[in-house]
Amino acid sequence: MSPADDHPRPMLQGAITALVTPFTPAGELDEPAFRRLVEFQCASGIDGLVPCGTTGESPTLSENERDRLVAASVEIADRRLGGKRPAVIAGTGTNDTAASIRLTKRAAQLGADAALIVAPYYNKPDGRMMEAHFRAVADDGGLPVVVYNVPGRTGSNIDADVFLRMAEHPRIVAVKEASANLDQIARICREVPGDVAVLSGDDAWTLAVLAMGGHGVISVCSNEIPAEMVALCAAARAGDFAEALRIHDRFLPLFQGNFKGGPNPVPVKAAMQLMGLLETDTLRQPLLPLEEKARAGMSAILREVGLVDAAGVVIGEAGRYTAAAAGAVA
């Protein structure tokens, strides 16, 4: 890594949305729908945006589609300069170090603030190999790196010793921890350098991570409730854990429901269609939409947490946004 670094070391915190990628019924990228989603996020005060992550179906996106999603996120985020500008963290990690570096360099050219780099999947590198992979991307990718640990997807865990060594690298700025290993996360929170962020990778664990000294969440649920996830994180970081717990308790069924009936992002796309945030919940195969029984269960959850009324009318921030968007289109 050269001594000169055009990308300062950001302190990432708060609610950061792992954005879904909308598709048309024919399976093409629906860029206008994606732009509307990012506008909704920014209007809700979101702290950060992650295009092209797991929730965005990154394995089935072409490089051209990745470019369009990252560029759109940066463009819309930049319009928020008069208020709070969300950080754009592009998902550029693969199980190929050279490809990850290439995608990260491209995201840097498009104006991203950081890169989300998933632990290499399928080829199952050990700790030494894992550390070399992340250091190579941090050295040569041209962006600050958020390490993404999600053993349930990758088949490999980045243990605390390995991450804490990586955290000494000047361009490794955060970890998205989705290991569901409380001991591991607690140790990282205790021992990580003060300018490196610990971000929950599971919505249901957000409050616990914040209580242990973590900094926020890269959230699936904030596709549906961005303002509420911002409020949860802000309350906890201000020391108002009673308010943070109130929000957590209210939306816990949704946190859990987003992972029932199918792998992420199958349930969240169904919920967003039910809420009017997406016109269709189309996914790219091998993923398929929720079956009807699971869709009915998601609809019941949306009613339970107060996002949809008994008649199916969307209420709250999402309801106001979708109504305003419909009026603008009309």
Residue 322's pLDDT is 73
The tens digit of pLDDT for each residue in 134-188 reads: 999 999 999 999 999 999 999 999 999 999 999 999 999 999 999 999 999 999 9
Catalytic site includes residue 122: no
Given a cut of 50, is residue 329 above it in pLDDT?
A: no
Predicted TM-score (pTM) above 0.75:
yes
Catalytic site includes residue 321: no
Residue 316's pLDDT is 75
Q: Is the Cβ–Cβ distance between 178 and 152 less than 8 Å?
A: yes
* Residue 298: its H or E element: helix 292-304
Q: Tokens representing 150?
A: 């999600």
Alpha-carbon torsion (270, 42, 153, 121), positive or negative: positive
Q: Coil, helix or strand for 21? A: coil
Q: Is the Cβ–Cβ distance between 16 and 294 less than 8 Å?
A: no
> CB within 8 A of 299, min separation 6: which ones?
274, 308, 312
Catalytic residue selected from 84, 121, 122, 148: 148
Residue 330's pLDDT is 40
Given a cut of 70, is residue 48 above it in pLDDT?
A: yes
Q: Which residue segments constitute the domains of the chain, with CATH numbers given?
A: 14-238 (3.20.20.70)
Q: Is the Cβ–Cβ distance between 10 and 46 less than 8 Å?
A: no
* Residue 99: its H or E element: helix 97-109
Catalytic residue selected from 176, 269, 293, 321: 176
The tens digit of pLDDT for each residue in 82-104 reads: 668 999 999 999 999 999 999 99
